[in-house]
């Protein structure tokens, strides 16, 4: 899948400058906005999140942008399980993993909208800091008649009840493990294309799609019984709304 996506990116990168020639017919339009913000939802191949950005409009084709995301990253082999007497849970899961991403980059316009309608096409890239949040994953273990306990994985327990399916009654509530959350700093980079179809020049309605990479100094312990990685490469899509304004 990544091979086809890279081919698409290369095709788009070399094709959109041809569309950008249409900008010449709009040279009489003055730059009237200086800043903009965008906010929305994000989905990627290993999770979901919320995002926003704030930009300074340098000229008609260039914006300098700060990007802010909060997202979850799941292990690619995470599998949901349930049964007639158990609630939903993820077998072998060690931690929930969330990212707070702050990055800085640029957005370039490749093709502007027409005078009354159309789609503005651009590309953007950024790099920055990714703060990983590792929250231990808890399960309810035991038998209902004997009483249940909420427990996280204990590597010293042999055999482990956490990995014994007959002992698992389901996932514990989200608040379990919240006070044990640990930080894992790393880096993030992304490259993507933007498509803005808002009909009014001060409004923003954008679809963004691209590739992002999160890298950490050690393997992130998401699962117990399968190998973990220290980097995550994801395709993503964002749906954003926003506004442009003058900086008076």
Q: Residue 165, SS3?
A: helix
* pLDDT score at 205: 96
Confidence of residue 147 (pLDDT cuts 50, 70, 90): confident
Identify the DSSP state of 93: B
Within 8 A by CB and 6+ apart from 175, the residues are none
Closest CA to 99 of 65, 153, 152, 135: 135
Q: What is the mean pLDDT of residues 98-102?
A: 97
* pLDDT score at 78: 94
Confidence of residue 74 (pLDDT cuts 50, 70, 90): very high
Say yes or no to pLDDT of 1 above 60. no
Determine phi and psi for 117, rounding to 5 degrees: -160, 180
The pLDDT tens digits for 18-67 are 444 444 444 434 457 899 999 999 999 999 999 999 999 999 899 999 99
Say yes or no to pLDDT of 162 above 80. yes
CATH number for region 2-245: 2.40.160.20
Better-predicted residue by pLDDT, 84 or 22: 84
Determine contact, residues 172/153, Cβ cutoff 8 Å: no
Cis peptide before 159 (omega within 30 of 0): yes
Say yes or no to pLDDT of 131 above 90. yes
Within 8 A by CB and 6+ apart from 102, the residues are 66, 67, 68, 128, 129
Determine contact, residues 208/107, Cβ cutoff 8 Å: no
* pLDDT score at 13: 47
Determine contact, residues 194/121, Cβ cutoff 8 Å: yes
The pLDDT tens digits for 187-243 are 999 999 999 999 888 999 999 999 999 999 999 999 999 999 999 999 999 999 999
The residue ranges of DSSP E strands in the chain, in sequence order, are 35-44, 47-57, 62-72, 80-83, 86-90, 95-111, 120-136, 139-143, 147-151, 168-171, 182-196, 203-215, 231-245
* pLDDT score at 115: 64
């Amino acid at each position: 899948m990544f091979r086809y996506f890279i081919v698409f990116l290369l095709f788009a990168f070399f094709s959109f400058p041809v569309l950008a020639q249409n900008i010449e017919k709009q040279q009489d339009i003055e730059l009237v906005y200086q800043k903009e913000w965008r906010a929305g939802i994000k989905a990627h191949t290993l999770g979901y999140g919320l995002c926003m950005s704030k930009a300074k409009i340098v000229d008609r084709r260039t914006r300098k942008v700060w990007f802010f995301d909060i997202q979850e990253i799941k292990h690619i082999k995470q599998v949901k399980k349930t049964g007639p007497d158990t609630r939903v849970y993820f077998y072998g899961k060690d931690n929930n993993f969330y990212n707070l991403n702050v990055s800085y980059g640029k957005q370039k316009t490749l093709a502007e909208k027409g005078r009354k309608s159309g789609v503005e096409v651009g590309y953007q890239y950024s790099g920055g800091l990714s703060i990983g949040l590792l929250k231990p994953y808890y399960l309810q273990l035991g038998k209902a008649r004997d009483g249940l306990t909420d427990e996280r994985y204990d590597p010293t327990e042999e055999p482990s009840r956490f990995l014994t399916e007959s002992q698992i009654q389901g996932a514990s509530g989200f608040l379990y493990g919240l006070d044990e959350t640990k930080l894992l700093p790393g880096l993030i980079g992304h490259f993507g294309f933007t498509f803005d179809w808002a009909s009014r020049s001060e409004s923003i309605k954008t679809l963004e799609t691209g590739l992002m990479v999160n890298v950490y100094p050690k393997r992130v312990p998401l699962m117990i019984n399968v190998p973990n990685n220290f980097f995550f490469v994801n395709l993503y899509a964002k749906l954003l709304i926003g506004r442009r304004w003058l900086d008076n």
